[in-house]
Structure 1
Amino acid sequence: MTLTLFAEQVLNGLQSGIMLFLMAAGLTLIFGVMGLINLAHGSLYMVGAFCAAAVSAATGSFLLGLVAALAGAAATGALIERVVIRRLYARDHLDQVLATFALILIFSEGTRWLFGSFPLYLDVPAALSGPVTLPGGIQYPLYRLTLILVGLVVAAGLFWLIDRTRLGVQIRAGENDREMIAALGVDIDRLYTLVFALGAALAGLAGALVGVLQSVQVGMGEPVLILAFVTIVIGGIGSIRGALVGAILVALTDTLGGLFLPELFKLVLPPAEATQTGGALAAMAIYVLMAGVLIWKPTGLFGARA
């Protein structure tokens, strides 16, 4: 194993972590402010990917596809918040799980009806195609590097929004005492719709950006949703900083575990068995990480409450 390979895998893990952060940030905002378990968040990721693929194919512009992903996911999020989610805030978490699971089925079948069962594809923009040479002579795809930079810019924007703006003050207050901010004149219904639309837009952006690296297909959001839940549990529910740190930890654990564990087991097992055993343990590593964090700090790394 060379140093170049290790550096490339670290960059791959960082890129995956930044994209996972976009997904987890919206989920942790929704859960932290509204106390809502939204299993349909992965469907909004899928909506963004399909909007981007459809608009990019029709216009030939990847940038317009990104705009469509943001707008389509945000509009879809605002719509389902007003029509469905708003009726669930005072309900038991089991009711929320059942209702949002039903939304997964509706989105999946609706998307299949609109676009068919065959996957769509997004091409890498011409301006971002090819590799770029990093210090140390590392050749790394420019598009993946751009994803890292875009994700960091979005993260900085979210930190600014939460810490420096009036809306951010309302969001933080809503996490602590919804009844009090409503009594002080804040339109709580409008705040909830804005937060849900923002979370949906972040998920849609992640789906559009990752859609270039994989096929855009029905059900693509569910595996990412599981990782997003693991991320916010590790980072702490309601914490944007926790979502960022947790996403990077999860992605690096998954990426580097898949690289190192098979090689480690090759020291004591035949290559085929070592690859199989190492791969299986690498898939478990993120859940071991989550268990370790919860044993050490039950509220997560940056969680303020259980």
Structure 2
Amino acid sequence: MDLSTFLVQCLNSVQYGLLLFLLASGLTLIFGIMGVINLAHGSFYMIGAYMAFALAPLFGDSFLVMLVAGVLLAAALGYVLEWAFFSYLYQRDHLQQVLMTYGLILVFEELRSILLGNDVHGVPLPSWLAGSFALGDVMSYPWYRIFASAACIVLAVAMYAVVNRTRLGMMIRAGASNRDMVRGLGIDIRKLYRIVFAAGVALAALAGMIAAPMSSVYPNMGASVLIICFVVVVIGGIGSITGALVASLLVGFVDTFGKVFFAELSGIGIYLLMAVILIWRPEGLMGKRA
């Protein structure tokens, strides 16, 4: 492998890992803070991708405005879903959570089929992000992938600032540690959870919107990323945003370079990584010891 090819694979690994972090961070917020096993999280990724397909003709080349509009719509959807469905799951056992969220997957897939059909769609790149730049004598790399990585880095920094430097973040961290204490201090824990869930849905949908121009938009696309998201959450530590970032980058490098060097075994690479880390640290890389 020459240097240019190695650099391309490194960039691919970082880009995939950062996009996976954007998706997994929403899941670790919902799973770690609210204690809900949300199998429908992959469907929110799919909804984001289909929103990009539906909104792209309306916004034209205003790609950033389209992303903002999609995030607001997804956050509103998450707020309503938490009020209508998830608010009844906090005191239920995990089996009931799994059954209800799996039912939501079926509902979302049927609605997608009715509204947009079962065809595979493409989302055009904005003109100002089209093209690529030279990387060596014969290799090039798309500008849009650089944009996707940069957007994910900005969002990661913003999430860190919100969780660790704001009053809302302080309440979220307190609610994750002891919800009864937070309720005793007069904080509306229901409203807090509703905000957290809306943020988780918005992050997953944003990941789908950013990924849509790089890949096809197709039925059941959320199922392929859901398992990997749970792997990232488990490796990083349940409820840890920093752990999700580290785990996402590890998974990105293992998956990308595994396909390059060990194509026959690439499908099990990330699961071997998870097994090794859980043997070493059963609570995950950044998880709290029980």
TM range (shorter): over 0.9
Q: How many residues of Structure 1 are paired with residues of Structure 2 in the alignment?
A: 289
What amino acid is aligned across from residue 147 of structure 2 in structure 1? T
Cα deviation for residue 119 of structure 1 reads 2.3
Structure 1 CA distance for aligned equivalents of residues 18 and 38 of structure 2: 21
Structure 1 CA distance for aligned equivalents of residues 256 and 120 of structure 2: 25
- Asked if the contact 1:53–1:65 (Cα under 8 Å) also holds between the matched residues in 2, the reply is no
Pairing of 1:36-75 with structure 2 (within 5 A): 36-60=36-60, 61-75=62-76
Cα deviation for residue 305 of structure 1 reads 3.8
Q: Which runs of 5+ in 2 are unaligned?
A: none
- Asked if the contact 1:15–1:144 (Cα under 8 Å) also holds between the matched residues in 2, the reply is yes
Q: Deviations over 1:252-286 (max 9, x none)?
A: 1000011012xxxxxxxxxxxxxxxx33x111010
Q: Does 1:6 align with 2:6?
A: yes
What amino acid is aligned across from residue 268 of structure 2 in structure 1? M
TM-score (norm 1): 0.91
Runs of 4+ in structure 1 off by over 3 angstroms are 133-138
Structure 2 CA distance for aligned equivalents of residues 68 and 49 of structure 1: 13
Structure 1 CA distance for aligned equivalents of residues 83 and 90 of structure 2: 11
TM-score (norm 2): 0.96
Q: Deviations over 1:17-70 (max 9, x none)?
A: 000000100100111111110011111111111112111123324333312321
Cα deviation for residue 98 of structure 1 reads 0.6
What residue is the counterpart of 2:254 in the other structure? 253
What residue is the counterpart of 1:160 in the other structure? 161
What amino acid is aligned across from residue 117 of structure 1 in structure 2? N
| Local SS of the residue matching 1:140 | strand
2:271 to 242, 262, 287: 287
More displaced, 82-91 or 114-123? Answer: 114-123
- Asked if the contact 1:161–1:167 (Cα under 8 Å) also holds between the matched residues in 2, the reply is yes
Cα deviation for residue 136 of structure 1 reads 9.0
| Local SS of the residue matching 1:238 | coil
C-alpha distance 39-210 of structure 1, shift in aligned 2 (>3 A): same
Cα deviation for residue 79 of structure 1 reads 1.1
Bigger relative CO (Cα 8 Å, ≥ 6 apart): 2
What residue is the counterpart of 2:103 in the other structure? 102
Cα deviation for residue 137 of structure 1 reads 8.6
Structure 2 CA distance for aligned equivalents of residues 49 and 55 of structure 1: 10
Pairing of 1:3-152 with structure 2 (within 5 A): 3-60=3-60, 61-133=62-134, 139-152=140-153
What residue is the counterpart of 1:275 in the other structure? none
| Local SS of the residue matching 1:298 | coil
Q: Deviations over 1:83-114 (max 9, x none)?
A: 01111110000110110000000001011111
Q: Does 1:298 align with 2:282?
A: yes
Structure 2 CA distance for aligned equivalents of residues 44 and 200 of structure 1: 6
What amino acid is aligned across from residue 165 of structure 2 in structure 1? R
State the identity %: 49
Cα RMSD of the aligned pairs, angstroms, is 1.4
| Local SS of the residue matching 1:197 | helix
Cα deviation for residue 138 of structure 1 reads 5.7
Structure 2 CA distance for aligned equivalents of residues 136 and 116 of structure 1: 43
